[in-house]
Amino acid sequence: MKIRVLGCSGGIGGSLRTTSFLVDDDVLIDAGTGVGDLSLEQLAKIDHIFVSHSHLDHVTSIPFLVDTVCWMRRSPIKVYAIQETLDILRAHLFNWKLWPDFTQIPDANQPFMAYREIRVGEGVALRGRVFTAIPANHTVPAVGYVLDNGRNALIFSGDTSTNDALWKTVNATPNLKYLIIETAFSNKERGIAVASKHLCPQLLAEELEKMRVKPEVFITHLKPGEGALTMKEVSEAAGRWRPRMLENNQEFSL
């Protein structure tokens, strides 16, 4: 299993892209602005999208993706999310007002897009790969994901604040090779981080103290213009875990 980072920023500008990961050539974890860098042929190969939560920086490319490649496909693109997230997408995105409802186009029996409800802790097996939603603690209902191929695993925290449930999963994953965890704000904006249910370096260090396994740790969702400062503070507060900044187009092999 190969994972390519299409976007990992908390905003846009220049080369920055918001959150999305391409798994092999057929699965997306979130669908932020980085999806738009794929070629038309690459876009047409995407069969599955696992959504962490409903915020725009994680779902903004789904409408454009479906609209762009629907005529090239023989089966619907499947969008996986917890029920609360699917309800938000139905009501506020694919609602015929902001964007057409592609679960009804060309008709409900043969749609271009289909929703698939998932539940926390239940894995979805796709060609030898298992995708499992795990708890996140955010301002809207949200999850992270475990990606596991039986040999190695990667955990993506999703957007989250302090989250004991995450560490229960992390510590129960002995084959964990990589942990991708968010740290959206610098320490001077700790108040904003707490209010918006994100992490800052001080909170990240407190969270990592709960970890009992030793994966490689990568930091995602840095805000534009504050990446260098935030990573400096991450190194100072949590340096013993050797966290590194996640980068666009970075690749992982499991």
Query: What's the sign of the alpha-carbon dihedral 200, 198, 251, 1?
Result: positive
Q: Give the mean pLDDT per block of 10 residues along the chain (254 residues).
A: 98 96 98 98 98 98 97 96 98 98 96 98 97 98 98 98 98 97 97 98 98 98 95 97 97 97
pLDDT of 235-247, one tens digit each?
999 999 999 999 9
Tell me, what's the pLDDT at 192? 97
Tell me, what's the pLDDT at 73? 94
Tell me, what's the pLDDT at 44? 97
Query: Could you give the domains of the chain?
Result: 2-253 (3.60.15.10)
Q: What gap in Å lies between CA 70 and CA 202, rounded to an integer?
A: 45
Q: What gap in Å lies between CA 123 and CA 146, rounded to an integer?
A: 9
pLDDT of 151-205, one tens digit each?
999 999 999 999 999 999 999 999 999 999 999 999 999 999 999 999 999 999 9
135 contacts 120 by C-beta, under 8 angstroms: yes
**Mean pLDDT taken over the chain:** 97
Q: What gap in Å lies between CA 77 and CA 111, rounded to an integer?
A: 9
